[in-house]
Amino acid sequence: MIVRKTPAELEKMRRSGMLVCQVLERLSSMVREGVSTLDLEVEAEKMIQEAGARPAFKGYYVPAIGKKYPFVLCTSVNDEVVHGMPSAKRILAKGDVVSIDMGAELDGYFGDSAVTVPVGEVDERTKRLIEVTRNALELAIDKVRPGNRLFDVCGTVERHVVANGFTIVREFVGHGIGTQLHEEPQVPNYVDRKNENPRLKEGMVLAVEPMVNAGKADTRILEDGWTAATRDGEYSAHFEHCVAVTSNGPWVLTRS
């Protein structure tokens, strides 16, 4: 069942979304050579605690894995697509890219967002990968309007990415969000005819999150049981925003 939020609930989601936004802005400014992904984790947890919020990912139980996720952030570097775990041993170097994904619960409502940040100067292909992924999200956000259908959002991501010579990760998708981190509907970054194609209505909130590979779409899970990486070792990028359907058009709850 898709839960539609009242205007008052959307205002609460806006507050949690703005916290996530502020944390990601701070973490993005920290990304440079010599910083570890654990440094980002420590700063994120500090900011969430100071705001009186709760990290959405830490302690999140995944039945398929059979255990709880142990960190506040997912920090996925280079060929890692999603769910990369922070580590003091993972030191960022020039030419790397790091995707930082985080969520927080504030006053019972969740925010969730992700950004991919280059470490210093990166090559032109990597710049294009980041730009195309970011633009795919922006184009999809514009489709989050009453009367459109879910496939309008999904298909927009797919068309833009494929037209630019990159590939869509299919194993991981976006989702509804509200009083739960993951709600209905699932939001793939491609048109999946096996899924339902609901019409978008006011009060629905979608976490739209393109995950795009420079090479082939295939992924693999690393030995830690969490981290998903590209099978061919090519770089990946990931951006995400929570977007509310309103009569005035898309309202991005996780952007200042």
pLDDT tens-digit series, residues 178-214: 999 999 999 999 998 888 899 999 999 999 999 999 9
- What is the span of the domain harbouring residue 177? 7-252
Residue 122 DSSP symbol: -
Q: 77 exposed, middle or buried (CB, 10 Å; 0-12, 13-18, 19+)?
A: buried
pLDDT tens readout for residues 210-244: 999 999 999 999 999 999 999 999 999 999 999 99
Distance CA 56, CA 104 (A): 5
Q: What is the CATH number of the domain that holds 172?
A: 3.90.230.10
Q: Tally the domains of the chain.
A: 1
Task: Assess if residue 2 is contained within a domain.
Answer: no
Burial call 226-256: b when 16+ CB within 10 Å, e when fewer: bbbbbeeebbbbbbbbbbbbbeeebbbbbee
Residue 244 Cα distances to 10, 55, 114, 191, 255, angstroms: 8, 21, 17, 20, 12
User: How many Cβ atoms sit within 10 Å of the Cβ of residue 120?
Assistant: 12
In a domain, residue 169? The reply is yes
Mean pLDDT over each residue of the chain, to the nearest integer: 97
Overall pTM surpassing 0.95 (yes/no): yes
Could you tell me if residue 1 is inside a domain?
no
- Which tens digits make up the pLDDT trace of 137-177? 999 999 999 999 999 999 999 999 999 999 999 999 999 99
Query: What is the pLDDT at residue 196?
Result: 87
